[in-house]
Structure 1
Amino acid sequence: MPQFAANLSLMYTELPFLERFGAAARDGFAGVEYLFPYAHEPALLAAQLRTHGLRQVLFNAPPGGLARGAMAQAWDQGARGTAALPGREAEFRAGVLEALHYAEQLDCLRIHLMAGCLPEGADPAACRQTYVDNLRWASAQAGACGREVLIEPINPRDMPGYLLQRQDDAHAVLDAVGSPHLKVQMDLYHCQIVEGDLATKLRRYLPTGRVGHVQMAGVPERHEPDQGEVYYPYLFGLIDALGYGGWIGCEYRPRAGTSAGLGWRTPPSQ
């Protein structure tokens, strides 16, 4: 079985955020991810990681706004990143630098940079060029710090208007940016909704070394990966067979309590 990281933004929500680290460790997770760390001082989060023997494997750069209250408000109001939004380059760069500061304190290798949802009337070509230019700058900054930045195709049902939606398009962006410090965050939930054919996509992209992180959830309800239209035991075996050594983030919403829903981690044959 691959190595799984608990997503503390969606899992263990029955507990206050800082108590979720211990709950994940007690359930056998060795890694954690979440959307944003910025509501807490990095030293406080680092202490939780050390206390519970956990690895921070991923978090997002700010979705918009810079002050802590502004970041949370921006997300609640629908901000989904600024990387592809012309005129907001300074805001994007400040957010990347803040994310890199947290990544250093949390010993986290990877940061997800959200493209953003295109405003009505936006010029797609201008947004694409802004995206490439911003990612080229961010990749250089990350590489200088020994980090990687990731881009993730996201389905338009959950996030209407999001710039990046397909795996092939994400890899085309990597080609345009041309940095070894930029990789793809391959979320199988989003990929199934937009494209399907998950096994073929995994066989195509995992061996390239350009997928820096994988995420999953059941489809279509985004619950545990033990029901729905995707048979994850097969995909987990394929991921192992393809030699993927990274993490799989469990970015799903538990149906009825996180710990009670972890039976999917036991292979069906056992």
Structure 2
Amino acid sequence: MKFSANLSMLYTEHDFLDRFAAAAADGFGGVEFVSPYDDPPQVVAEAARASGLVVVLFNSPAGDWTAGERGCACQPGQQARFRAEIDRAIDYARALGCPRLHIMAGLVPEGVTPAEAEAVFIDNLGWAAERLAGAGVVGLIEPINPIDMPGYGLSRLDQAERVLAAVRHDNLRLQYDVYHMAMMGEDVVTQFMRLLPLIDHIQIADRPGRHEPGSGGIDFPAVFAAIRSSGYQGWVGAEYLPAAMTSMGLGWRERA
């Protein structure tokens, strides 16, 4: 398996641009992150090049994260902002040579029904999938559990399947997060095998606590065995909160 380090959660004992070298020193081949947008694209690209790492994924702009913003793709009246943010993400993807973009749905605004928000989301995703295809970037959507992110516009696996079926674009795929699936009560292995044709990226963390694989109740030997036997060739993103210093908790890779 090819493991990528999520630099928004791992190596936070270092400044962001220094996390690339730290991940490379620990043997990761790729990196991903929530947001590169605090630094110019060429600066982030240079940090990746200097470390020898591949940037495999990052998110579309979320807005003011500290103020609670999580993107705007499902929000009526924000279509112009959404399109501008996708174009900004494409600029970064080109600079970084990154082939995937997780498109953040955003929170459903007060007074907007879930059905209305989903309709906006589907419309925006259709535009984005085509726009990203022209840039050689695959668009991804990820259902995020409503305990960790209440009000998020994509909070269930069946909803993600419905959205993908409605958009019907080959350049829009599923980001399968084992932690979020477990938090939603899904059978992680069964759903992974069933949805494999839709999946273009995997992320892992254990439950509870969202710490290293093997620290909680998810059967990671079964998860890793399923990934190996499936023929999945993509990246598996380590997107967890280290229980201590990042480098001290990487023993799970030897058991994968």
Is the Cα contact below 8 Å between 1:166 and 1:195 reproduced in 2?
no
1:235 to 223, 231, 246: 223
2:90 to 88, 91, 100: 100
Q: Helix, strand or coil: the match of 1:4?
A: strand
CA distance in 1, matches of 2:224, 2:80: 40
| Structure 1 partner of 2:74 | 84
Q: Helix, strand or coil: the match of 2:18?
A: helix
TM-score by length of 2: 0.98
CA distance in 2, matches of 1:17, 1:124: 36
| Structure 2 partner of 1:156 | 146
Q: Helix, strand or coil: the match of 1:214?
A: strand
- Note the alpha carbon deviations across 1:213-270, whole angstroms, 9 max, x for none: 11010101001112111021221111110011001111101011000000111128xx
Letter of the structure 1 residue corresponding to residue 253 of structure 2: R
Is the Cα contact below 8 Å between 1:36 and 1:61 reproduced in 2?
yes
RMSD: 1.0
| Structure 1 partner of 2:62 | 63
CA distance in 2, matches of 1:115, 1:145: 21
CA distance in 2, matches of 1:198, 1:127: 27
- Note the alpha carbon deviations across 1:17-49, whole angstroms, 9 max, x for none: 111000000000000001000111111111111
Q: Does 1:254 align with 2:239?
A: no
| Structure 2 partner of 1:70 | none
Q: Helix, strand or coil: the match of 1:92?
A: helix
CA distance in 1, matches of 2:114, 2:159: 14
- Note the alpha carbon deviations across 1:75-109, whole angstroms, 9 max, x for none: 11000110000011111000000001100110000
CA distance in 2, matches of 1:18, 1:145: 25
CA distance in 1, matches of 2:166, 2:185: 22
Letter of the structure 2 residue corresponding to residue 90 of structure 1: A
Q: Does 1:199 align with 2:199?
A: no
Is the Cα contact below 8 Å between 1:167 and 1:186 reproduced in 2?
no
| Structure 2 partner of 1:4 | 3
| Number of residue pairs aligned between Structure 1 and Structure 2 | 256
C-alpha displacement of 1:123: 2.2
| Structure 2 partner of 1:36 | 35
CA distance in 2, matches of 1:123, 1:97: 28
| Structure 1 partner of 2:125 | 135
Q: Does 1:184 align with 2:183?
A: no
| Structure 2 partner of 1:27 | 26
C-alpha displacement of 1:121: 2.0
Could you tell which deviates more after superposition, 94-103 or 157-166? Answer: 157-166
CA distance in 1, matches of 2:227, 2:74: 31
C-alpha displacement of 1:120: 2.2
Q: Helix, strand or coil: the match of 2:5?
A: strand
Is the Cα contact below 8 Å between 1:81 and 1:117 reproduced in 2?
yes
Q: Does 1:51 align with 2:41?
A: no
| Structure 2 partner of 1:121 | 111
Letter of the structure 1 residue corresponding to residue 245 of structure 2: G
- Percentage of pairs with the same residue: 48
2:165 to 170, 175, 185: 175
Uncovered stretches (5+) of structure 2, i.e. residues with no partner: none
| Structure 2 partner of 1:71 | none
Q: Helix, strand or coil: the match of 2:255?
A: coil
CA distance in 2, matches of 1:194, 1:163: 15
Letter of the structure 2 residue corresponding to residue 242 of structure 1: S
CA distance in 2, matches of 1:52, 1:123: 46
Letter of the structure 2 residue corresponding to residue 113 of structure 1: I
Could you tell which deviates more after superposition, 97-106 or 193-202? Answer: 193-202
Q: Helix, strand or coil: the match of 2:58?
A: strand
